[in-house]
């Protein structure tokens, strides 16, 4: 059996505390499945956790593993697992983290079947951003009478929130930098550039309709802005609330029914093309630090994902460092 490897860190810190440790394929308990990881998403909150920024909210036990999103193939299963055959393609989460690895062993209930039409990198990006986005959008009970502002609208969580809000019938105004305007128009969102003059730009984009809700992923001055725009206090979703929702899903147990329901609903939305997840960085596992640096630059469009078995691109593996999809796109005249 091939030797695997896993991301581990044994103290709080920056990228330099992260290292790869050898990993043997785990043995499943009676209710577990062992998954060979194909793709796994990256999330800021895991970075914040490693940097020690969330110590007041949740503990990290060292040595700590990293990565909660997972998509892969079932390679072994416990005696009580009857509905997932060896070779089944699955997606979901790793309770306690550890998906940035060759193998994970999780309770069968932590994963759902991956639709055959869904690419592994999309399935692997889905869990934390998707559950956070869907949970927040549903809390607001948006409908056709709503105009909602979403901050950091082109980011990993924001681009999912925008599409789900639209699917609920709301008009969506998204804050972003100019480089993301085209992308937001493409998904039916009215883009407005953040920074000086944002309030006037949002008011103009609303074209006389009241702003009835505000999802603030980014934070900063947005709470005051929402008040000035007349958003009812109970329809303002703060960045802190978003953090708390994300922390809850980061720490969800393997048998969380809400998680399973959300994953199934997200999966159905993807199959119906009501939701499209944009992957703008797909890095080989060995480039995990580059992938995190990309995310930490705070200008991702959609999701950044690592692939455990990337297709070898010959001598040009360095391509991933410099010529990712969005930079190629932006290099066009």
Ligand X SMILES: NC(=O)c1ccc[n+]([C@@H]2O[C@H](COP(=O)([O-])OP(=O)(O)OC[C@H]3O[C@@H](n4cnc5c(N)ncnc54)[C@H](OP(=O)(O)O)[C@@H]3O)[C@@H](O)[C@H]2O)c1
Stretch that binds ligand X, among 239-247, 254-262, 267-275, 283-291 (CB under 6 A): 239-247
CA–CA separation, 123 and 71 (whole Å): 6
163 binds ligand X (CB under 6 A): no
**Least distance CB 92 / ligand X (angstroms):** 19
Which residues neighbour 117 within 8 Å (Cβ) at sequence distance 6 or greater? 271
Q: Are 148 and 140 in contact (CB under 8 A)?
A: yes
Query: Which residue in 9, 103, 194, 282 binds ligand X (CB under 6 A)?
Result: 194
Stretch that binds ligand X, among 73-81, 213-221, 258-266, 307-315 (CB under 6 A): 213-221
**Least distance CB 279 / ligand X (angstroms):** 11
248 binds ligand X (CB under 6 A): no
240 binds ligand X (CB under 6 A): yes
Stretch that binds ligand X, among 21-29, 111-119, 147-155, 268-276 (CB under 6 A): 147-155
**Least distance CB 107 / ligand X (angstroms):** 26
6 binds ligand X (CB under 6 A): no
Q: Which is nearer to ligand X, 10 or 240 (CB)?
A: 240
50 binds ligand X (CB under 6 A): no
Residues that bind ligand X (CB under 6 A): 44-45, 151-152, 154-158, 175-177, 180, 194, 217-219, 239-240, 242-243, 246, 295, 298-300
């Amino acid at each position: 059996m091939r030797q695997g490897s896993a991301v581990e860190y044994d103290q709080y810190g920056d990228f330099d505390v992260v290292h790869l440790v050898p990993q043997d394929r785990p043995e499943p308990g009676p209710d577990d499945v062992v998954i060979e990881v194909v793709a796994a998403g990256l999330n800021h909150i895991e970075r914040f956790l490693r940097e020690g920024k969330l110590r007041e909210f949740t503990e990290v036990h060292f040595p700590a593993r990293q990565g909660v999103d997972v998509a892969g193939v079932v390679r072994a299963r416990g005696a009580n697992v009857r509905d997932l055959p060896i070779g089944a393609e699955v997606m979901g989460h790793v309770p306690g983290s550890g998906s940035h690895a060759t193998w994970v062993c999780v309770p069968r209930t932590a994963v759902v079947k991956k639709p055959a039409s869904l690419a592994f990198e999309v399935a692997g990006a889905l869990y934390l951003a998707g559950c956070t986005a869907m949970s927040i959008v549903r809390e607001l009970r948006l409908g056709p009478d709503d105009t909602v502002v979403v901050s950091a609208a082109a980011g990993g969580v924001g681009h999912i929130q925008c599409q789900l809000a639209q699917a609920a019938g709301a008009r969506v105004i998204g804050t972003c930098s100019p480089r993301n305007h085209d992308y937001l128009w493409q998904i039916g969102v009215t883009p407005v550039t953040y920074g000086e003059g944002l309030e006037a730009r949002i008011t103009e984009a609303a074209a006389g309709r009241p702003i009835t809700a505000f999802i603030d992923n980014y934070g900063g001055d947005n709470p005051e802005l929402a008040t000035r725009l007349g958003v009812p206090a109970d329809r303002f979703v703060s960045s802190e609330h978003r953090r708390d929702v994300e922390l809850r899903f980061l720490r969800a147990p393997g048998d969380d029914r809400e998680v399973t329901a959300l994953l199934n609903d997200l999966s159905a939305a993807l199959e119906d093309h009501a939701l499209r997840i944009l992957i703008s960085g797909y890095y080989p596992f060995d480039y995990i630090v580059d992938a995190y640096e990309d995310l930490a630059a705070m200008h991702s469009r959609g999701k950044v994902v690592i692939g455990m078995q990337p297709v070898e691109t010959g001598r040009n593996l360095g391509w991933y460092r410099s010529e990712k999809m969005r930079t190629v796109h932006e290099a066009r005249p």
